[in-house]
Structure 1
Amino acid sequence: MTVLMDGKKLAQKYRLSLKKDAELIKQHGVVPTLAVLMIGEDPASQVYFKSKQKLAAEIGIATIDTVMPVDSSQQAVIRQIKQYNEAANIHGILVELPLPPQLDEKAVMEAIAPEKDVDGFHPYNIGRLFMDDAGPVPCTPAGIMALLAEYQLDPAGKRVVIIGRSTIVGRPLAAMLLNADATITITHSKTNELERITRNADILVVAAGQPEMITQKYIKPGAIVIDVGINRLGSGKIVGDVAQEDVKQRAGYLTPVPGGVGPMTSVMLMKQTLKLAKRSVEFERR
């Protein structure tokens, strides 16, 4: 039978642990603080914005929340980020995506100080990750690695196929798995014979943004299937990129949607905030 990898349960386990970590940091006179910047009032971004506020408060992380007008200029946004960079009491900086069209996402993300880049998207931190010298790392791939570890699924020596080459999931996850001694193939919309490639995967990660595109014909019997997709159908139902009921007939392990990778992303963000705050405590001790 397919084992469903319960990200919700693991996220709760992390929340309890992170609360203790936050208290230990506060005992050194440091309040872990995350600055969250949102440009405009995109409904989906607002939902994530509020959920992060709630989770941070539960764990014991302070947030400094700024909502700028949707027509904010590039200069104004970068000026705000630089203020966060210079604030000693701020340990992590998060810019909610997507950004309005007049803003250059790459320039905005590069304006964040690498040592406060809680999302792990700064080119400096991505470069360190590929050199196996990781600082802050992207949170969704970190959540996937945590799920694999929880279920004692060691990637070493495994053949991994990743569908999707985004800088948020596919590329950084490939680096993490490579650092963990897996053999990696990245596929994408231009890949030929996708089905043939995925059927050789011991671990298949699907981050394609296509509702239920992966059925059991793409799956090697007993494979570990990680579904990163979150898609809302016209009926309102939320599904992943994997046809879950079909794939359950063949996969050994599967992350459900919802309740798989999604809950892990937010707790990894909070874990990384605490890690950056802890570094400030260690710096003060020197």
Structure 2
Amino acid sequence: VPQSTREPRSRDIRADMSVECPSTKKSYVLDVSVVAKPYLAEIADKIAKKFGKAMKPKMVGVLANEDPFAKMYAKWTKKACERTGIVYETLECKRTDLEDVVYDLNENKNVHGIMVYYPVFGSFPSFMAGVSMDSYIANCISNEKDVEGMCFTYIQALYQNRRHLKNKKGLEVKSILPCTPLAVVKILEHLKAYDSKEKLKGKTITVINRSQIVGHPLAAMLCNDNAEVFSKDIDSMFVFKKDQKGRGRLCETEILFEDALEKSAIIISGVPSKGYKVPVKHIKPGTIFINVSSHKNVVEEELLKKPGMVYVPKVGKVTVAMLQRNLLRLYEGYHQ
């Protein structure tokens, strides 16, 4: 929107607050630094007390693409780890060497966590097994080092709504959840969208994106927490509902995308396209809108004209905090 056409606002409100009555509440933009801060402080405190000057947990981020957003994410991760005391290294390689690099890191006893900056091959079909090469690479990472929670062990646990697993010693450890979906959950908790007992019961949510990295696991997690979740992708619309075993399951729906938006108290969009915008006219006042794409999936000025809106333009800082949190859980569960 050109500067000359914007309606004047007295100020941008970037605050730590929850949504009240949408007809009286001002719309605002949430800076997620306030969400990430307590998690990072807790991690730094634990690292300082537990490790001191001894060898600290180490995470390696593997960069096998030329995506500028991935390179930026790698820099953020390094800086965040330096502040909390975690050892972090970015390792660059050709994508054709990525599988071997991952296997070498699996065997390296000085490395406690591995992440890969996706997409690497994108939707390119797998040469080996799985739907795509990226999903195959995710499954090459040992579950004992998978800080992103994307290997089959953790994805299966997520879709079965199993919160705990057993390590080789037979001890119970928490299952690792995918970092960006987990970051979204933590943001919603901060915004008081979660009830302490019923969690998301009674809330309708629309997730736009059904990738295996973000949209699909996120929809399943929100459904596991009792929400009705509509899942929109390029050419299809589904709804996640709990089955008799309490697991979020993808079901057919005849509801239109626009109708799902109008029902939703929370909308989460992760479309990796600069030109894609969610139609604001179908978003009701008082909605929480979380953008998990590198591109803005909504016209911010139009969204904030409606009363009671909460707009979250980026989740990256919380995602990085969840990466570090997952690393500590892996270290405590598998590497002590």
Same fold (TM over 0.5): yes
Paired residue for 2:264, among 201, 221, 230? Answer: 201
Letter in 2 for 1:107: Y
For residue 78 of structure 1, report the CA deviation from its aligned partner.
Answer: 2.3
1:59 counterpart = 2:122: no
Letter in 1 for 2:214: V
Question: What are the equivalent positions in structure 2 for 1:49-198 lying under 5 Å apart?
Answer: 49-68=74-93, 70=94, 73=96, 76-99=97-120, 104-134=133-163, 135-154=175-194, 155-191=200-236, 193-198=256-261
What is the alpha-carbon root mean square deviation over aligned residues?
Answer: 2.4
Q: CA 1:80 to 1:229, structure 2 compared with 1: closer, same or farther past 3 Å?
A: closer
**Contact 1:81/1:111 (<8 A) preserved:** yes
Measure the CA separation in 1 of the matches of 2:308 and 2:276: 18
- For residue 245 of structure 1, what is the aligned residue in structure 2? 301
Measure the CA separation in 1 of the matches of 2:46 and 2:228: 34
Moved more, 147-156 or 25-34: 25-34
For residue 148 of structure 1, report the CA deviation from its aligned partner.
Answer: 0.8
Q: Which structure: larger Rg?
A: 2
Segments of structure 2 that go 5 or more residues without pairing to the other structure are 1-25, 128-132, 164-174, 195-199, 238-255
Deviations along 1:147-190, one digit per CA (max 9) or x if unpaired, are 11112111222111111111121111111111111111111222
**Contact 1:164/1:206 (<8 A) preserved:** yes
Q: CA 1:43 to 1:248, structure 2 compared with 1: closer, same or farther past 3 Å?
A: closer
1:19 counterpart = 2:44: yes
- For residue 225 of structure 1, what is the aligned residue in structure 2? 289
Give secondary structure in 2 for the equivalent of 1:89.
coil
Identity %: 26
Letter in 2 for 1:208: V
Segments of structure 1 that go 5 or more residues without pairing to the other structure are 232-239
TM-score w.r.t. the length of structure 1 is: 0.84
Number of aligned residue pairs: 268
TM-score w.r.t. the length of structure 2 is: 0.72
Give secondary structure in 1 for the equivalent of 2:62.
strand
- For residue 234 of structure 1, what is the aligned residue in structure 2? none
Measure the CA separation in 1 of the matches of 2:293 and 2:107: 36
For residue 228 of structure 1, report the CA deviation from its aligned partner.
Answer: 1.7
Letter in 1 for 2:230: T
For residue 40 of structure 1, report the CA deviation from its aligned partner.
Answer: 5.3
